[in-house]
Amino acid sequence: AQTVTQSQPEMSVQEAETVTLSCTYDTSESDYYLFWYKQPPSRQMILVIRQEAYKQQNATENRFSVNFQKAAKSFSLKISDSQLGDAAMYFCAHSGNTPLVFGKGTRLSVIA
């Protein structure tokens, strides 16, 4: 069974600085996707970024980028130029032959 581990329950970052959230996963599949979702206080689940496992190039969406290390089964999220609106729970998730499996989340605080 797939598992997703986020080892940092809480992180904080100064506004305008860069922060990296960690995620490791375990899977026996060769074809899968990885996701980062953001859950602000409104509780809405918002897709941040997606990575296809067959792509070597790391995905980037504006200030958000990932470091995908397939052999190490690592999928970290880097947030650059952090903004107050980035404060939220961030969930890493794996999707393969089974629907999304989520990690337990990292709560990110942004300090003004």
Partner 1 sequence: DSGVTQTPKHLITATGQRVTLRCSPRSGDLSVYWYQQSLDQGLQFLIQYYNGEERAKGNILERFSAQQFPDLHSELNLSSLELGDSALYFCASSPRGGGGPKETQYFGPGTRLLVL
Scanning 9-17, 65-73, 75-83, 88-96 for contacts with partner 1 by CB under 8 A, the matching segment is: 88-96
Which residue in 31, 55, 62, 111 binds partner 1 (CB under 8 A)? 31
What's the CA gap between 104 and 39, in Å, rounded? 12
Contact indicator for 68, 13 with CB cutoff of 8 Å: no
Closest distance between partner 1 and the C-beta of residue 66, in Å?
A: 15
Scanning 11-19, 66-74, 75-83, 100-108 for contacts with partner 1 by CB under 8 A, the matching segment is: 100-108
Closest distance between partner 1 and the C-beta of residue 50, in Å?
A: 6
Contact indicator for 4, 102 with CB cutoff of 8 Å: yes
Give the type of residue at 84. Answer: L
